[in-house]
Amino acid sequence: MGADIIALIQHLGGPAVVIGHSFSTGSAVVAAAQAPTDVLGIVLIAPFASPPKLNPLLALLAKPVMCSPTLWAMYYRSLYPGTKPADFGGYLAALKANLRQPGRMAAAAAIANPSDDSARASRSRVRCPALIVMGSKDRDFPNPGGEAEAMAAVLAGPAEIALLQGAGHYPHVQLPAETGRALLGFLEQTVHA
């Protein structure tokens, strides 16, 4: 996916700032490492600095969840602690319907369990500025702020962290105004530097 990002930037006449969320943050990292003249900066929303460590019960449940649109929807709901967006029910119904289409659940499972070796190996070659956006109540991490700091520490370039209080794994959906302010500030500094 990192190569696809680079190809798109070059096709559109970049350079660009690349934004990735959750598992796709690895693609943004690979693109920045492989094409530093095409990638001005990266925004990593809810990145995994290290592979997720599941307790034994969650590890046992992970496989069935990744095979069932209904179980996935139940898990997905947990990623939004506190207030959910007004259109959350409709979105969740559409997501379940999409995942019931042939091949969709398998594709989601493949993305959620990628071989992350190339992304991890690329981090030390990312010299462009990075913004790491993390929700303070992201249940995918025992310590969301610590996870953001760990990611910032392995990147070679300057990295700033926006820890959004009360948000879960989708801070850009739960707190769009706060996320937008962080992104616009980062873009202003990065694009006009």
In this predicted structure, what is the pLDDT of residue 94?
Answer: 95
In this predicted structure, what is the pLDDT of residue 82?
Answer: 84
**CA 65 from centroid of its chain's CA atoms:** 19
pLDDT digits over 75-117, tens only?
Answer: 888 899 988 899 999 999 999 999 999 999 888 887 776 555 7
Nearest 5°: the CA angle 105, 111, 114 is 135
In this predicted structure, what is the pLDDT of residue 166?
Answer: 94
Indicate the helix (H) or strand (E) that contains 164: strand 159-164
Portions of the chain given CATH number 3.40.50.1820? 2-51+116-191
Residue 121 CB-half CA count within 13 A: 5
In this predicted structure, what is the pLDDT of residue 109?
Answer: 81
In this predicted structure, what is the pLDDT of residue 146?
Answer: 95
Q: Which CATH number fits domain 2-51+116-191: 1.10.150.120, 1.10.3720.10, 3.20.20.300, 3.40.50.1820?
A: 3.40.50.1820
Go through 83-104 and write b for each residue having 16 or more CB atoms within 10 A of its CB, e for each that does not: ebeeeeeeebeebeeebeeeee
- The CA distance from 143 to 43, in Å, is 20
Low-confidence ranges of the chain (pLDDT < 70): 52-55, 58, 113-116, 193
